[in-house]
Amino acid sequence: MVKEKTFAFFLGCLMPNRYPAIEKATKFVMKKLGYEILDMEKAGCCPAPGVFRSFNKVDWMVAAARNLCIAEKLDSDILTVCNGCFGTLQEVNKHLKQNEEHRIMVNEKLQLLGDYEFKGTINVRHIGEVLGYEIGPWGIDDMIVRKVNARAAVHYGCHFLKPTRIREIESSEGPTIIEEYIEALGVQSVRFKEQLTCCGAGGGLKAYSGDASMTIFGEKMRNIDEVKPDFILDICPFCHLQFETGQDYLNKNKECNYDYPVIHISQLTAYCMGMDQEFVGLQYQLMGKNYIFGEKEMKKEQEVV
């Protein structure tokens, strides 16, 4: 039986290498909420759904199943903060539970890698879904020590909601899970044109064609810039990377002047739960300017009595 209030924390590739502050913030939040976070020793790449699956679907399933087996040995559901990792691990987990032929095939290949056997005893969860549904705005309210009165452009990303038949979170056409959650943190979501479109990073596009990636991202940023949010809120480290480095690229190559801070939902939640802004990663270099969340928003910040 899967342990309650325990998660096997799947780090993925990008977060521990580029955004350790998101990892730190996530652990802080989950422990404050009473969850035990377990390390997944020897876990590998998820691997990325937009690249690996396109070349070899069988090996893609085997690599993902190996990660699932590590969590199964811990008797814990997987927690991930990345849309791509969520997409691969959840999809493979559900597919192998339902398809006996593929499950047998994958387990035969897993035996070549060591003591691994996919049994289908766990589920895969995303931090956005856990905070939005399991904790909810009703549950986080008593846990926060300060609210941030600010306006955010919320970016869901592609793999969090789609395909709907596999994710089973909510409608991919009109989601509200993140907006309703951050409202409890004092943040107003500002709608913008084509809000649910891709940021231009996923599906291997960023690696294959930087020009195409930046064309898509440029349109995304123009739509965001029209509503002038205080910051951009995301739920995925890869989208996070695109919004950070992409703004810099557009400023240098397309004569733009974007300077929107990019904040992951774990960072925002940790800050509102009392984590110091420096340790939560809200103090960093963005487009050459030292941006400190508190300096820009402190006048708007409301202490919760």
Position 145 scores a pLDDT of 94
Summarised one tens digit per residue, pLDDT across range 229-266 is: 999 999 999 999 999 999 999 999 999 999 999 999 99
Do the Cβ atoms of 100 and 27 come closer than 8 Å?
no
Give me the percent of the chain exceeding a pLDDT of 70. Answer: 91
Report, as an integer, the average pLDDT of 23-47: 97
Summarised one tens digit per residue, pLDDT across range 174-217 is: 899 999 999 999 999 999 999 999 999 877 777 778 789 999 99
Whether domain 6-126 has CATH 1.10.3720.10: the reply is no
Residue with tokens 């924390």: 9
Distance CA 30, CA 206 (A): 31
Position 289 scores a pLDDT of 40
How many other CB atoms are there within 10 angstroms of residue 215's CB atom?
A: 14
Position 299 scores a pLDDT of 36
What CATH topology corresponds to 134-303? Rossmann fold (3.40.50)
Q: Could you give the maximum distance between any two Cα atoms of the chain, in Å? A: 60
Do the Cβ atoms of 142 and 184 come closer than 8 Å?
no
pLDDT band at 226 (very low <50, low <70, confident <90, very high): very high
Position 49 scores a pLDDT of 79
Do the Cβ atoms of 13 and 44 come closer than 8 Å?
no
Domain range annotation of the chain: 6-126, 134-303
Distance CA 305, CA 302 (A): 9
- Going from the C-alpha of 8 to that of each of 74, 153, 184, the distances in angstroms are 7, 30, 27
Least confident among 18-27, 218-227, 272-281 = 272-281
